[in-house]
Homo-oligomer: A and B are copies of this chain.
Amino acid sequence: MRLRFEIVVSLKDGLLDPQGKAIQGALPTLGWENVSDVRVGKHIELVVEAESEAEARSHVEEMSRTFLSNPVIEDFRVLSSEEASAS
């Protein structure tokens, strides 16, 4: 089966996020005064071919840990899975 996963990779809490700070600094000049705590991360979408959903999910978690994120400074979350249409 082919399953589509979404992964969010974000900087660990407490680490300085320059991209988020840049967005937050720009928002007031555009009229948005009511926004705070902006953090920017990566969103990765991929399709995994596997025997079962559990197997696919464990592949995605291992990939995220070893390749898609830097575990020293980043956390990841696997958001969702859904059956992908054959292509």
Contacts and interface: CB of A to CB of B under 8 A. Distances in A.
Interface of A: 4, 6, 8-10, 20, 23-24, 26-27, 30, 32, 34-50, 59, 63, 66-68, 84, 87
A40 to B, nearest CB: 5
Of all A-B residue pairs in the complex, the 8 with the closest CB atoms, nearest first, are A43-B43, A37-B47, A41-B43, A34-B49, A39-B45, A38-B46, A8-B43, A36-B47
A38 to B, nearest CB: 5
Contacts of A36: 46-47, 49, 87
* Copies in the assembly, this chain: 2
Contact of A67 (B30, B42, B46, B66): B30
Interface of A is mostly: strand
